[in-house]
Structure 1
Amino acid sequence: MLIGYARTSTLDQTAGLEAQREELKKAGCEKLFEEQVSSVDVAARQRLTEALDFVREGDTLIVTRLDRLARSVPHLLEVLATLTGKGASLRILGMGIDTATPTGKLMLTVLGGIAEFEREIMLERQREGIAKAKAAGKYKGRKPTARAKAEEVQDLHVNGKGPTDIAKELGISRASVYRILSA
């Protein structure tokens, strides 16, 4: 049986999820497992766990791209070990890799290492860029939203509104309201 797994990192990536769904159906997947969760939080990927539990001997788990399945080599190898232990294989459509062959297994391991290396380099560059921007005084982080509404909070409070109502009306947390009122 061909089993598809599709994943996007955020809930607003519905087009990406739909594109994966279509590609997996074209590949002949009879059952699809989908989720919208970050790959970083492996524990939260319930549908991947369900897909791996569902797989039986002779089945093939299909994903559109490697980064939809695993973000690190250890996790990739863990998924491969699970599939291999069940007598199943993995196919990655975007790379033309099928672990049912020895060459496919080798290529997947090498490409997984390269993908992890690339991600680490990107994160390192990002951290360096943020540090450089902070040193130049150009990186300030996000603007505090509640403090910008301090005057409105005070006015509503003076007019008899309670903290819960103020928070709802201004779209800020109650903790922010209390913080502003106690200042």
Structure 2
Amino acid sequence: MAQQTFISYFRVSTEKQGRSGLGLEAQQQAVSAYLDAHPGKVLASFVEVESGKRSDRPELAKALAACKLKGATLIVAKLDRLARNARFLLSVVEGTGEGGVVFCDMPQIPAGPVGKFLVTQMAAVGELEAGLISARTKAALAAAKARGRVLGGYRGGPKADPARAAEVRIQQADAFAARVRPLVDDLQSQGLSLRQIAARLTEEGVETARGGAWTADAVRRVMLRGARS
């Protein structure tokens, strides 16, 4: 019996994740674990640095071409690393050729017609979930703006009372955490790590209290403040 062959595809959302290995290493470990249980040979690997919302992915195109050329199966660590758009996902699944595609987080799904149907249904649910999270994020930001809340820190003058300034900063931080915590809880309920939650918040355009990008520590601070409130 011929050994099954694979073409692996990995995707990270930012250049920083690509350079540091954040997210990429976990995907590689997932593929390795799958191959331990389902022996096969990886003929080539492709890494994409691109948002999951974009469909123009040159590395994915190369991976699909390699699958067709070599009759290999596309292997992806997680469904959401490939796509969150149901229509795009189906086009990719159909574009892999006879080898099909397998997802390490869903090894029970076959690569044939039944697998295509199941993957499409799951992608539709994932697309709906992503849309709901985005809508909640936009609604939370709009509500904050409507209330005239300032998301930055306290900016008292040179003669401001230090004790009062510290008190105001604490109040603002607590209020910000209370507004963002529901979004964090939604993402955490999906099983995302702190780093993954930070990446998703940044990708959705949600800024930190100081107007910067999210980090795992920033997410942790919001969760701790939310727990106290």
Larger of the two Rg values belongs to structure: 1
Confirm or deny that 1:136 pairs with 2:143: no
Question: 15-24 vs 116-125, which deviates more?
Answer: 15-24
> TM-score normalised to the size of structure 1?
0.68
Confirm or deny that 1:73 pairs with 2:77: no
d(CA) in 2 for partners of 1:42, 1:139 = 36
Deviations 1:119-159 (A, max 9, x none): 00001101100110000112568xxxxxxxxxxxxxxxxxx
Letter in 2 for 1:135: A
Confirm or deny that 1:21 pairs with 2:28: yes
d(CA) in 1 for partners of 2:54, 2:116 = 25
Deviations 1:21-43 (A, max 9, x none): 23324424332111221122222
Match of 2:65 in 1: 53
Equivalent residues in 2 for 1:34-183 (5 A)? Answer: 34-43=47-56, 45-56=57-68, 58-83=71-96, 86-138=97-149
For structure 2, the residue ranges without an aligned partner over 5 or more in a row are: 153-229
Aligned length: 139
- In the TM superposition, residue 106 of structure 1 has moved relative to its aligned partner by 2.3
- In the TM superposition, residue 97 of structure 1 has moved relative to its aligned partner by 4.5
Q: Report if the CA contact (8 A) 1:33-1:51 is conserved.
A: yes
> TM-score normalised to the size of structure 2?
0.55
d(CA) in 2 for partners of 1:63, 1:139 = 42
Q: What's the RMSD between the two structures over aligned residues?
A: 2.1
Aligned-pair identity in percent equals: 35
d(CA) in 1 for partners of 2:149, 2:108 = 44
